[in-house]
Structure formats: structure tokens, C-alpha cells
Structure 1
């Protein structure tokens, strides 16, 4: 019985509410601590985090934006990072790409404020990561320059449209014919995110997101068990390559955003099918997600699981499921209890123990799970 006959909250419910509040406060405290530790790697002269690569830097920034959206107490750190990275970050671009060399604005007139070409790398997936990062920064600051930058990056991806597989999609990079999953999932996600944030161009971005998803589902990316493999062979058949966690994740966020922009009764069911298949494949008996490369996942695999959890929590918000909440909180708890060294840094194996390199990439990936826990426990 939750209420007494006098209409007051019963002691059992009060205890439950207090317990829930304490758990949520603890989740926020953990995430704040993880952010402070991550910032120990931040290099103000490079605009990204020491020990992680170019695209990983975008992922780090996205996670900070996600926490700032949930916890205003970290806004000063977030806005500092966004502003400094916006101004300094291009010096860290290791392979400035040939994608575009023109300045993008919505009205196709030049602007000195936004030069998307500075952020383009010789890999279209890297470009997509930075577009999502700047969208995340826009979401918490409402700084229009960040959103315009994301639009410019996306336009360079549009210019790359068209592969030998059905004439659609985009290749991995400007000089490759490899058609991989992550690049096309990022194209979908960026387009769908922009559709919900640029009202005057909403239909344009919806069309591109729908076009990408229609093409993606007509290809052979998804394996028999419902998970997404790394990409396609030259003959456009599934290459049977590793089921990386981030390939199961980015598509979830893209479908959630697309369903928000243009509701359809297939988008969320498709996302749920992929998410459940991924959890069945990648989670252990304690609901902790693993990568096939553990414990040595350098240089890129160290980042992947956080991206999966980041997008799983977006799906949890749009289409709640006890399993998703359980996986998110189990991962966060295990990271804190089993995958944390004496400096408060996290490794790649969330079940522990730490057996390999600990750096900004491994830490920020785990930080993603702590942020997701804040979201589902609020």
C-alpha cells in the first residue's frame, strides 16, 4: 500500500523515492568525476585529447555535450571545450581531405565564420563524427555557428553519394571503393539530426535520411542473426567481417532521429531488432558489453562500445525497454567497480580487470556509459 488512509505517502514509497534519488545523484557524481579525469588529457593547443585520434576527439566532445545536456553543472567545462576546439581543432586534422574546398552557408554565400573544409579528413566516417559532435555542441549552447558547421560537413558527404552497390550510399573515403557500414550509418544519423534542427531545410534532410535508410536496408549489411557486419565485398555481398559494437549503435540514433522528424511505423521496430540482436551477441551474463578485440583494441576499437551505449540510451528514451536500461546501468556499475585504476581512469574491458593501455579513448568510451546511466536514472 503506497498511501495511508489519510492520503500521505506511505513510508515504503518514501524510502523508494529517496533511494532512487540517491542512485541518480551517485550516477551524476560518477559522470562528473569521469569528465574531470578526461579533461586531464585535453590539450588546449591541439583542441583534442592527447592519446586519442582525430575522430576519437569528436566522440569525446559528443559525450561531453551529452552530459552537459543532463547536468548544467558541467556547462562551463563544455562551453570551454566547444569554443577552444572550434577555434584550434583544425590544426590537429592529420589528413586534410580533398572533399570540398569551398565555404558552406545555407544561402550558398561565403562566410568567414564557418569553413567546413577545415574539418574534413580523408575518410568520410571521420567527417560524420565531427558533424555529430558539432550538433551535440549546438544542442546545449544553441550557438548557430556550430550547427552551420555540421551542415557544411554534411554537404561534403552528399557530394560523395553513389557507389557501385545499387548506385547509392557513400564509400569509406574519396579514394576507396570500400562500402562500409559505419560511414553510411553516420550519413543517416547526421541527416536525421539536422532534419530536427534546421526547420527551413527539414524536408531536404529528411529526404537524404530516408534515401540512405532505404538504400542501406536494400543492401547486404545485416547478417542472419540481425547484427550489422563491417561492410560489403566488391560484389556487394556482406563481407562477414567483425560485428563491431559501434555499427550496431550509430544506426539506432539515426533511426530515432528520423522517426522524430518523419514518423514511420518501421523505424523504431527496426532499431529495436538491431539493438536486441547486438545485446545478445555482445553482452555477457552480467549484461556488460564486450568488443571482440578485447583486451587489445587499439587504435580504434577502444572507442566503439561507448558509441553503442550512447545510442542505445537514445533508443531507450524513444522506445523504452527494461533490457536496455539494465544493460546501460550494468555497464556503468561494472566500469566503476571493476574497470577503474587508482587515477580514476577507465580501460577497454568494462568487466575488468584492466589489462591493456588506458588512454583518453578507453576512458571516454566508458565515460559514455556513465553518461547514459545518468540519463536513464534521472
Structure 2
């Protein structure tokens, strides 16, 4: 059966994910067997939990029957909280673990703020506000740093990276809507983050966002991931909507045009132009799709006339490809790969026929168990649902 309703597909993934992973007796997500994203035999790192919880909240925005899942989902995060620092550790802990990543916590904050937006429950706004304040403390204000500014990746490391800086900015813009008397403080901080992102990490040649830089160095890690462009695009678009400053409009439009240019490195360019696709895993691509949807939302009629149709085309063909190659028809859940050759053996001939057999077919290691058999994981399922929910903002129906 072809994909026709991305929103319904997202709903089905969340429902199946919840039944497979959520354990009401433990009050958290439990892996039936160790899989990608587990830090021990059955518990997931907070990044995986945040992606899954955001998918739950996304589903509840559209399907009211999913609203009762929000409260137990948000409550899971408390198992990871460092009660002294007010941040959330990568693993469940007794309240003092300091293995805290600012980018993971930004995704947690976004879950809390979206949960408030969907339910109106002020508890989630209060939790989100406390966490956003913690995140803002990750700004690099070391006077001895070679590279000034940027948000740290981890509380005890010196790396300043794109995902952290943009995701923290994204949370600041998100919460600015809900606390008017503090709004300008958050907006100014977000603008400072994205200014740094463009000045320090944007490649002047292809306009993609590079990964990061250590604060004691000036050499940038030039790896380019789709989600770094996606989160920066979300923020620049939102900043333009709030400030009406043409600077943000120019940055956002340039980024939107860049991430759908099939010549840039976030695409697999081993194929003819009409068959090229975003090469990252779904947990990165979901944030790229969200960035494009945010661009169209915040730019409205001010987007260049041809760009909305091009964005629509690009998201639609990627959703169809993802559905056809990464979905397991046996349980309707998804592996993390977004690449059509990193798929099940049953899809080998379909890949050969459409993509001319350019690459060997086989699952990625993150989508396999220790015996090489296909295996789903919490983050892959949450990311898949988010790809469809965010994609549906641009492509509500297919066919």
C-alpha cells in the first residue's frame, strides 16, 4: 500500500512505538533487548528518549486521544535529572550525574515547551523555563578562549558545536512566545547564537553549517550534517517572523535553497540528479524537515515564488522513499537509515530497479543486532514519526 497520509503514518508509528517500548510498571521506555541507543541492556540514553517523547507530543497535537500519553512521557525525564545543576544526564541517575550534553537537554526542553503548547499545563512551562535557563548557561564566555561565543556541547568539554548552539536558540525562541515579560531576553540570546553560527560555522562556499570548533582552537571541524542546517534554518526563520529584520530573511532563504540543492554534500551525490537524496539517518533528517516546514510557516508569502513548490517536492519524494525502504511491513516500525540501499533484503530488487543497483544492499550496523538481524530502536521509531509529522506540515496528502 503506498503512502498517502503522512500524518496517519506518524500516528501509527507512535502508537506501535508506545506499545513496544513503554513499560508502565517501570514508568519509562524499556528495550525488549539491547539495541542502538541503550546505555545498558534495556535503558535508553536521554537523546533517544527526547526524540521519542517529542514524537508523542507531536501526535497529541493532532490526535487528542494521544494527550494522556504526554504526562507519563514527560515524567520519564525526571529519572535523568541532576538536581543540583538542573540539567539532565545522558543516563538515569540518582540526581548527581554530570554527564550532561547541552544539545540533548535542548531537545528535552523542546519536548516540555511543546507539551505546554499542546496541553496548557503550566507544569511543563515551568520545567521548560528552568531547563532553558540552564541551557543558556552553556554559552562560552571564557575570556581566554581562542574562539569566543557559541554554546558548549557538554558541561565539562570545550567543544562548541552547531547542533547545541542552534537547538538552544530554538528553545529560547519557543519559550519567548509564552513569557512576554522575559521574551526579549530569550530573543536576544537566540539572535546571538545564530549570529555566531553564521559567522563561525557557515561555509561561505556552499552555505551549509559545519559541525563545530573547540574553544581553545580556531580550526573548525568541517563535517556537515543535515540537522545543523535544519535547526539553524528554524531559528533564522523564527527570528525573521519576530523581528522582521531582513538579515534573518536573507539567511533563512539562503539556507532553505541550499538544503534542497542536490549538489551539496548533505545529499548522496553518487546518483544522477533526479535520484539524489539526503544521506543522514532519520534522527538528523527529522530536524531538517522541521526546518523547512518552519521556513514556510514563518516566511509565508515572502518566500521566493518558486521555493515553496520545490520544498514540497523534495519533502514528498523523501517521505515516499523513507516509507518504501525503511519501513518494516511486519510491525510497521522503522529502522534509522534514510538511505535506500541500507534496507532489508526484501527491498533489494526494488532498489536495483529504481537506483540502477549502484550500491550493495544491506542494513547499517545501528539497525542490526549482534547476529546481523534487523532491529528497531526507540530513537529510530521516534524519528520516523517526526519525519512524517513534520513533513505533513508541508505535504499533508500524497497522491
Report TM bin, short chain. Answer: 0.7 to 0.9
Aligned to 1:16: none
TM-score (norm 2): 0.73
Aligned to 1:130: 108
2: CA distance between counterparts of 1:262 and 1:316?
16
1:118 Cα offset (Å): 9.0
Structure-to-structure mapping, 1:1-378, within 5 angstroms: 26-39=5-18, 40-44=20-24, 45-48=26-29, 50=31, 51=35, 52=37, 53-69=45-61, 71=62, 74-77=63-66, 79-91=67-79, 93=80, 96=82, 99-100=85-86, 122-161=100-139, 162-163=141-142, 164-222=145-203, 224-233=205-214, 234-240=216-222, 242-280=223-261, 281=264, 282-283=266-267, 285-286=274-275, 288-291=277-280, 303-319=283-299, 321-341=308-328, 342-352=330-340, 353-354=343-344, 355-356=363-364, 357=367, 358-378=376-396
Q: Which runs of 5+ in 2 are unaligned?
A: 38-44, 88-94, 269-273, 345-362, 368-375
Q: CA RMSD in A?
A: 2.8
1:152 Cα offset (Å): 0.7
- For the structure 1 residues 226 and 49, does the alpha-carbon distance in structure 2 shift closer, same or farther, using more than 3 Å as the test? farther
Whether contact under 8 Å (1:125, 1:172) holds in the other structure is yes
TM-score (norm 1): 0.77
- For the structure 1 residues 48 and 254, does the alpha-carbon distance in structure 2 shift closer, same or farther, using more than 3 Å as the test? farther
1:344 Cα offset (Å): 0.9
1: CA distance between counterparts of 2:255 and 2:28?
35
Q: Which runs of 5+ in 1 are unaligned?
A: 1-22, 102-116, 292-300
- For the structure 1 residues 221 and 25, does the alpha-carbon distance in structure 2 shift closer, same or farther, using more than 3 Å as the test? closer
Relative CO higher for 1 or 2, CA cutoff 8 Å, sep ≥ 6? 2
1:225 Cα offset (Å): 1.3
1:119 Cα offset (Å): 11
